[in-house]
Chain A
């Protein structure tokens, strides 16, 4: 089994990659390859051109810009897990990455690849939705910034043109008395989540001042639980408050598939949201 023939390009700059995309109509962008390579091997995709981003200088790495993490799109998932700044300022990220595939796939898989592939059950899009991250996309006319809320257009379809590449992700970290929780249920370790929940909480003067709850696996895109977030703000953190807020997850529109019904996803969403909120409350005084 091997991919159908294609022409391989390995640009060394983002400009060169964008020019190649503009020049070649039927092309695919290769990042870590942990999703595209299986699709090529099985000939689900048969592009004429493959544009490999692995040789591009300057689009991998993690930079701490005050309270924002600037993460290059080609940063490997492994490097996100090993980075000291992320561990300190956004510890939910390395924790959640334990759920992404297996350590062998995380050694190649990238944050940008996951965000562009945009599997509805993937952990990184779920996290970026919780943080309201901003994505930088480069095209022939220069770079543009896309708020994560506007990134998913439809099922596995990000807001990126055929001649654009994702170059960076900005993650605004929370400061003060903050906590984080990430929980997920999948049938086997390393499988895509049936439901995943990322929760961030900030507390001021004994009351919740800010909350973000993001659900993966329930909808075609990561789903923010706006109603539950609003219900939490102004309340004191506690098990009853969390249970009441999590109950709101039961009313979401949830996908069904051959294995998992919509009702089961709704139940899981409520249970896992409650667990994620309790986990977040248990590590308040940390960072998120």
Chain B
């Protein structure tokens, strides 16, 4: 019989209680059990960064964590980044403006990673931004639009 646990976690401000098989990754739990498919599972071994979510505000790979380990914690996914009124966050807005995405597969990981990074490093320059997203692989854009978007968002957020 499968080893399961009943877990309760807060996702994008909303409390969820569900049964998780203990071997299920946090990413699969978010997608299949909670139904939030914005988090993308790519390589599933921590390399591509597409599945990055915020755990208690810090960017982590949701493929490298078990759902049961998130019990009692707070998770933010791509679905939770927009403002409460549904308008896009400055970073999301900048991705739109600067062609920061094409196919969109890496985008949830890029946005969650950069949301945490720019919060902690509001003065980040291009080199620091490129290093911050070195663990997020994009095969469409060549990164230029993503870096431009991050730089522009940092500026917008500082101007407040």
C-alpha gap A1/B5 in the complex (Å): 20
Please indicate the chain B residues that have their CB under 8 angstroms from the CB of A23 in the complex: none
**Interface check A42, CB cutoff 8 A:** yes
In the complex, the answer to whether B131 meets A189 with C-beta atoms within 8 Å is: yes
Report the contact-size class of chain B (Cβ under 8 Å from the partner). Answer: 20 to 34
**Interface check A95, CB cutoff 8 A:** no
In the complex, the answer to whether A38 meets B60 with C-beta atoms within 8 Å is: no
Please indicate the chain B residues that have their CB under 8 angstroms from the CB of A107 in the complex: 55, 58-60
Report the contact-size class of chain A (Cβ under 8 Å from the partner). Answer: 20 to 34
In the complex, the answer to whether B134 meets A189 with C-beta atoms within 8 Å is: yes
**Interface check B23, CB cutoff 8 A:** yes
A34's partner among B2, B46, B52 (CB-CB below 8 A) is B46
In the complex, the answer to whether B28 meets A8 with C-beta atoms within 8 Å is: no
**Interface check B37, CB cutoff 8 A:** no
Please indicate the chain B residues that have their CB under 8 angstroms from the CB of A187 in the complex: none
Min CB distance B110 to A, Å, is 11
In the complex, the answer to whether A103 meets B64 with C-beta atoms within 8 Å is: no
C-alpha gap A5/B24 in the complex (Å): 9
Please indicate the chain B residues that have their CB under 8 angstroms from the CB of A30 in the complex: 66
Please indicate the chain B residues that have their CB under 8 angstroms from the CB of A105 in the complex: 46, 61, 64, 135
In the complex, the answer to whether A188 meets B58 with C-beta atoms within 8 Å is: no
Min CB distance B64 to A, Å, is 4
> 8 Å CB contacts to B: which residues of A82-131?
101-105, 107-108
> 8 Å CB contacts to A: which residues of B103-124?
113, 117
In the complex, the answer to whether A5 meets B69 with C-beta atoms within 8 Å is: no
**Interface check B44, CB cutoff 8 A:** yes
- In the complex with contacts A6-B22, A6-B23, A105-B61, A54-B135 CB distance below 8 A: no
Please indicate the chain A residues that have their CB under 8 angstroms from the CB of B22 in the complex: 6-8, 50
In the complex, the answer to whether A78 meets B58 with C-beta atoms within 8 Å is: yes
In the complex, the answer to whether B63 meets A37 with C-beta atoms within 8 Å is: yes
**Interface check A3, CB cutoff 8 A:** yes
In the complex, the answer to whether B65 meets A104 with C-beta atoms within 8 Å is: no
Please indicate the chain B residues that have their CB under 8 angstroms from the CB of A10 in the complex: 68
Closest residue of A by beta carbon distance from B47? A38
Closest residue of B by beta carbon distance from A36? B64
Cβ contacts B57-85/A at 8 Å (1 or 0 each): 01111011110110000000000000000
Please indicate the chain A residues that have their CB under 8 angstroms from the CB of B2 in the complex: 5
- In the complex with contacts A7-B22, A37-B64, A104-B61, A188-B44 CB distance below 8 A: no
C-alpha gap A105/B59 in the complex (Å): 8
**Interface check B90, CB cutoff 8 A:** no
Measured CB to CB, the residues of B under 8 A from A are 2-3, 5, 21-25, 28, 44-46, 49, 52, 55, 58-61, 63-66, 68-69, 113, 117, 131-132, 134-135
